[in-house]
Amino acid sequence: IADELKIPSYIVDPVVVDEMSELAKVSGMPELVRRSVFHALNQKGVLKKYCKELGIDYNEKTFIAVHMGGGISVGLHKKGEVVDVNNALDGDGPFTPERAGTLPIGDFFKLYYTGQHSKEFLLRRLKGDGGISAYLGTNNVKEVMDRVLSGDEKAKKIIDAMCYQIAKEIGGLAAVAEGAVDAIILTGGMAYSDYICEEITKRVAFIAKVVRVPGEFEMQSLYDGGARVLNGVEDVKEYI
């Protein structure tokens, strides 16, 4: 579109933004490197919005941001860079409405080699039909929460387990930050749920103030990023 109009075009904080520390990239297996794939646009956009409202500098503070949607990413934002974050796309971190998250890898390989399930089935279990969908037959969190609130014990167990894993991920990043966290931000579609946010908050509130910013702000964040470049607030970088 931009080429046809003979104007510049910009992309803002794509999912493969990589600001991870070298330590965070070490996987434990030389053949594999931990990769940065997460909801960079919404995480950074929400934090910049939060900082602007409080009159503080995003580039001078430390936050843990939790995007909770079809995928869940938990990122440590330190002085404007996401120095550690789970790969929210490819089997890392908490399980989600449709993704399996981190698995016991040895048992996964044993399951694969039994031949009971096709490669395609297992890939779908990792991403698309894993997590809540695999346990409860739906990835609709509102529907699942209705079941929880009506007394469905199985639905409650799975939602509670997801919240447990999210809190565990937050706690791990708090340790990396040596406990010096200014705030924990819960955002994304699931941040609308009082139950989910309360289950997470009760486990992590000792670390830092927990702030809810429900919803997704990708379109506004794209606009804001382009405006910062056009107004000379940020420099343009070339993605290669």
Phi first, then psi, for residue 113 (nearest 5°) are -80, -5
Residue 125, both tokens? 């279990």
Domain positions in the chain are 2-230
Under 8 Å between Cβ of 191 and 213: yes
- Residue 89 is given by DSSP the state S
Kindly report the pTM of this predicted structure.
0.92
Residues 6+ apart with CB under 8 A from 16: 36, 37, 40
Tens digit of each residue's pLDDT, the chain (240 residues): 999 999 988 899 999 999 999 999 999 999 999 999 999 999 999 999 999 999 999 999 999 999 999 999 999 999 999 999 999 988 799 999 999 999 999 999 999 999 999 999 999 999 999 999 999 999 999 999 999 999 999 999 999 999 999 999 999 999 999 999 999 999 999 999 999 999 999 999 999 999 999 998 889 999 999 999 999 988 998 877
Tell me which residue has tokens 């009760």.
202
- DSSP 3-state of 149: helix
20: which residues sit within 8 A by CB, 6+ positions away? 34, 36, 82, 83, 84, 85
Assign a CATH topology to domain 2-230.
Answer: Nucleotidyltransferase; domain 5 (3.30.420)
